[in-house]
Chains A and B, each alone.
Chain A
Amino acid sequence: MFTNYSEHYLPNGIRLLFMPTDKFKTISMALFLHQELNRQVAALNALLPAVLEQGSRQYPDKLTLQRTLENLYGSDLTADILKSGERHVIAFGCETPHDKYLGKNGALLRKGMSVLGSVTGDPLTENGGFKKDYVSQEKNQLIKDIRGMLNDKVTYAYERCIALMCAEERFGTYKLGQIEDYDQIDREALYSYYQKIFSRNPIDLYVIGDLKEEEVLEVAGEAFSFSRSDEQSKLTATEIKRPVPEVRYHEESMAVNQAKLVLGYRTYTGYGDAQYCPLLVYSGILGAFPHSKLFMKVREEAGLAYYVHSRLERHKGLMVISAGINCDDYSQARDIIDRQLEDMASGEISDTELDNTRRGLINRLRSQQDSPTQLISTHLDGSIGGRTYTAQELIEGIEAVDRQEIRAVAEKIKLDTVYVLRPREGGS
């Protein structure tokens, strides 16, 4: 029912994960470099993929690079920075349509991989650093992106809650770092940082498509032939045990129409823990689905919100509840939300809620098998979390969760931070 990856190592130590399947119309390739999340290097990590994406030695500017990709039938090259727990992952992707839908013969894997290899492993340099224009241009863009977080109020409120809650932890670092950190980065320092981490940090390369293993190995080996150190950096694990001495309350006002309520909880359960599946079920019953308590009580019964849900920061052991409400309804909404958590802790969970949540979670897991992006990101979760679950293992884990385990999860969960974004008095 589920296809798994075959694991290989390229001569330079890059791990290759290949999944042969004729299900998709595409060839998907993705490269991830694992690094620690912390304030000191966050801006460097965010800037690096942005600069690399501007051009390589072989394709020295964006124009040349994009035209090459267009001629490869709109192959899509992406460069990004991901934050997962206290891991910072530099991510590149290249997706091409499969040749068989174009009457071509096997050239797109080779060409797509070569572009990906060129951009990540053979960058454009001048005088011992990256190209000056690219570095300053991308700094400007990232500073703009950091400021732009404000534009989407739902995301803004979420990120503010996390930053305040985890101000003294590595996880409190925003994935793009902070504006002032960019001042100190110059093109030489960024390049030597690039050389260091591309030589020493763990790198995973994923390939999914209707392809032959020998060919993938050969093509990947050619495209990613840069030399790497035998010594691999060890990355510090995510801290999930921080106690909560008292609940903190933060409020901010702005000229907006709707108030945003964000509640940050600590679950003390990590991705690799035995209680991970019970935590998934817990959060599912509470707020991950339209049948969940939060949606039913806050939205369907009280009519207070359009969106209200709980989400897990699974690698950091956090649970975050978000809702958009009328400011005047704050107390009523808080009461209803608190009552749902109390009901979870006292075991007031119906058989229907439990069964529906199990089914919903299993449906999500199975559905992930139909998307190359999700097949890659769920496996990447395993690398980050230090424990690789197959879809089958998670499904069996979820089926086996009982009420006692949910209660054990509930007893550990602690509210840490309340964040409210309020409409300004007499505002818009």
Chain B
Amino acid sequence: MREKFRLIENRELHETLYHYRFYPGLDLYVLPRADYQKKYAVFSTHFGSIDNHFRVEPDPEVTELPDGVAHFLEHKLFEDERGNVFDRFAALGASPNAFTSFTQTSYLFSCTDNFEQNLDHLLNFVQEPYFTEKTVQKEQGIIGQEIKMYEDHPHWRVFFNLLAGLYQKHPARNDIAGTVESISQITPELLYRCYNTFYHPSNMAVFVVGDLDPDRVGRQVKENMAGRDYKPMGEIARLLPEEPAGINQEKTVQELVVSEPIMFLGFKDNRAAKLESGPLMRREILMELVLDILFGSSEQLYNELYRDNLIDENFGAEYSAETSYGYALIGGETRDPDQLYGRIMEAVNNLKKEGITAEQFERHRRKILGGYIRRFNSLEFIANNYLAYRFRDNEMFDLPSILQEVSRNEAMEVAVENLDPSSHALSLVVPPPEE
């Protein structure tokens, strides 16, 4: 792969993005933002919790991982032979962080000073792994506490219980951090094996935003990569199990200390899992519109449910999809899950009969367009999300134009296809019975 450069312009948002590609396949994106004090950089790998079963071409050997390795690796990169990586960012006045999702692991910092040194530091620590028995063992304690914190978190539990209800085999059904048991199987060797596969530059990308000179950043990243003696790597085959069309379990109920029940209702989108990235992004936008039209605060249903004290302001619906899975999720806290469930299903059925009006469609389209524009105030939002789209070959800056293109008929088609009563599951967290 040779060096490459192009400009990505977006007229609606008044943004110009600079894209560079360096040997052996690292993408760099620079978005200049004049007047911002903050400079933000994120270095991400296309390695998330669902990548737990893989091999690298042409090697036939398959690696299977216990749950939670991507997240564990994220924690462990923050420590190297010289000690704690946080300290070195702190000395440069930067604020570092990292996160792991289903599909990516991201390392980031924001700073208002010493940008070049901080960027070097970010590039260096992510490219210089250091795992030992001792450090792995200590991290098992820390992540064990993180897992316990989430075990007590009712909204987190109701969400993962729902995914486990929707999916029979797909690894999105498992908690990103794994379990105390699964992370006890992690060893330094395993971390190195994952590192050497997924942290190859051709599986990674850097996004930088702030008051910056793109070419200067480009030179810096190129020089940082130049001395590292990378060899080209074969393609990573992500071996996902064949997910059956049907759901796993219709209803999951967990008792936790909560003030009232929390109910999430999910629809498994079997079609999304078979789409190329372009149609997938279009489908996400259409489903965002459909769910807002069905369940948004400007519509009859929401207002009736609110008036009947069945929902609160946090009630909502969202659609999420990646190249191997997709689902719509609706819910919130409610005093009466049975009644709320009935009303939601009734609304879903009515949509097919009654359709969407032109007025509704345009109004919600405007709302979502305004939402995109407002979110572009945040450098973190832009950088983090840009790479998530990029890893599945989507261009995030196309959001406004696709939104303008889509039609009411398309929305109805997608809605009927996805909101199919035969592929839904229910997840409840309820208070324990009174003693």
Task: Pick from B139, B143, B145, B258: contact of A258, CB below 8 A.
Answer: B145
Q: Is residue A412 contacting chain B, with contact meaning CB distance below 8 A?
A: no
* Residues 89-115 of A contacting B (Cβ, < 8 Å): 95-98, 100-102
Bound Cα distance A372, B371 (Å): 16
Q: CB of B1 within 8 A of chain A?
A: no
Shortest distance between the CB of A68 and any CB in chain B (Å): 9
Bound complex: CA A366 to CA B38 (Å): 7
> Is the pair A359, B377 in contact by a Cβ cutoff of 8 Å?
no
1/0 contact trace for A19-54 toward B, CB 8 Å?
A: 001111110000000000000000000000000000
Pick the contact of A101 from B38, B89, B366, B373 — CB < 8 Å? B373
The answer, yes or no, to whether A140 is at the interface (CB within 8 Å) is yes
Q: Is A70 in contact with B84, judged by CB distance below 8 angstroms?
A: no
Shortest Cβ distance from B145 into chain A, in angstroms? 4
Task: Please pick, from B91, B139, B148, B367, the residue contacting A73 in the complex, using a CB distance under 8 A.
Answer: B367
Q: Chain B nearest CB: distance from A215 CB in Å?
A: 21
- A291 closest partner in B (C-beta): B90
Is A147 touching B260 in the complex (CB atoms < 8 A)?
A: yes
Q: Is the CB of A63 within 8 A of B303?
A: yes
Q: Are B298 and A305 in contact (CB under 8 A)?
A: no
Which residues of A sit under 8 angstroms from B300, Cβ to Cβ? 63
Number of A-B residue pairs with CB-CB distance less than 8 Å in the complex they form: 195
Closest to B85 in A: A290
Q: Give Cα A144 to B314, complex, Å.
A: 12
A360 touches B90 (CB 8 A): yes
Q: Are A137 and B307 in contact (CB under 8 A)?
A: yes
**Chain B CB within 8 A of A378 CB:** no
CB of B138 within 8 A of CB of A356, answer no
Shortest Cβ gap from A126 to chain B (Å): 17
Contact flag A363-B145 (CB < 8 Å), given A95-B374, A148-B260: no
* Total residues of chain A contacting the partner, CB 8 A: 77
Does B320 reach chain A (CB closer than 8 Å)?
no
> Chain A nearest CB: distance from B114 CB in Å?
9
- Are B149 and A324 in touch, CB under 8 angstroms? yes
A151 to B258, CA, bound (A): 5
Nearest residue (CB) in B for A66 is B298
CA distance A151 to B112 in the complex (A): 37
A71 x B366 contact (CB < 8 A) = yes
Please measure, in the bound complex, the distance between the C-alpha atom of A189 and the C-alpha atom of B282, giving whole angstroms: 51
Give the contacts of A407-428 with B (CB-CB under 8 A): 428
B367 cross-chain contacts in A, Cβ below 8 A: 69-70, 73-74
In the assembled complex, the Cα of A372 lies from the Cα of B313 at a distance in Å of 24
* Contact residues, A126-181 vs B (CB, 8 A): 133, 137, 140-141, 144-145, 147-154
A95→B378 CA distance, assembly (Å): 14
Among A235-243, A249-257, A269-277, A339-347, the one that faces the other chain is A249-257
Asked if residues B303 and A97 are in contact (CB atoms below 8 Å), the reply is: no
- Do A356 and B87 form a contact, CB below 8 Å, given A26-B374, A151-B258, A303-B139? yes
Interface size on B (CB < 8 Å)?
71
Tell me whether A25 and B91 are in contact (CB under 8 A): no
Instruction: Decide if B113 is an interface residue (CB 8 Å cutoff).
Output: yes
Q: Are A255 and B257 in contact (CB under 8 A)?
A: yes
Given A96-B370, A101-B12, A151-B258, CB of A359 within 8 Å of CB of B113 = yes
B110 at the interface (CB under 8 A from A): yes
Taking CB atoms, residues of chain A closer than 8 Å to B303 are: 61-63
Task: Establish whether residues B259 and A150, one from each chain, have CB atoms under 8 Å apart when the complex forms.
Answer: yes
Could you tell me if A370 and B148 are in contact, using CB atoms closer than 8 angstroms?
no
Give the distance in Å from the alpha carbon of A358 to the alpha carbon of B141 in the complex: 31
23 CB contacts below 8 A, A to B, read A25-B376, A26-B373, A70-B298, A74-B368, A101-B13, A102-B373, A148-B260, A150-B259, A151-B262, A154-B149, A256-B257, A291-B87, A303-B138, A303-B142, A352-B91, A359-B90, A362-B93, A363-B110, A367-B38, A367-B95, A367-B112, A428-B255, A428-B256
- Which of A's residues lie within 8 Å of B, judged by CB? 1, 21-26, 61-63, 66-67, 69-76, 95-98, 100-102, 133, 137, 140-141, 144-145, 147-154, 254-258, 289-291, 295-296, 299-300, 303-307, 324-326, 352, 355-357, 359-360, 362-364, 366-367, 369-372, 428
B contact set with A: CB distance below 8 Å? 12-14, 34-38, 84, 86-87, 89-96, 110-113, 138-139, 141-143, 145-146, 148-149, 151-155, 255-260, 262, 296-300, 303, 306-307, 309, 312-313, 333, 363-364, 366-371, 373-374, 376-379, 432
The 8 A-B pairs with the shortest beta carbon distances in the complex, nearest first, are A73-B370, A74-B370, A359-B93, A74-B367, A66-B298, A303-B141, A291-B90, A356-B90
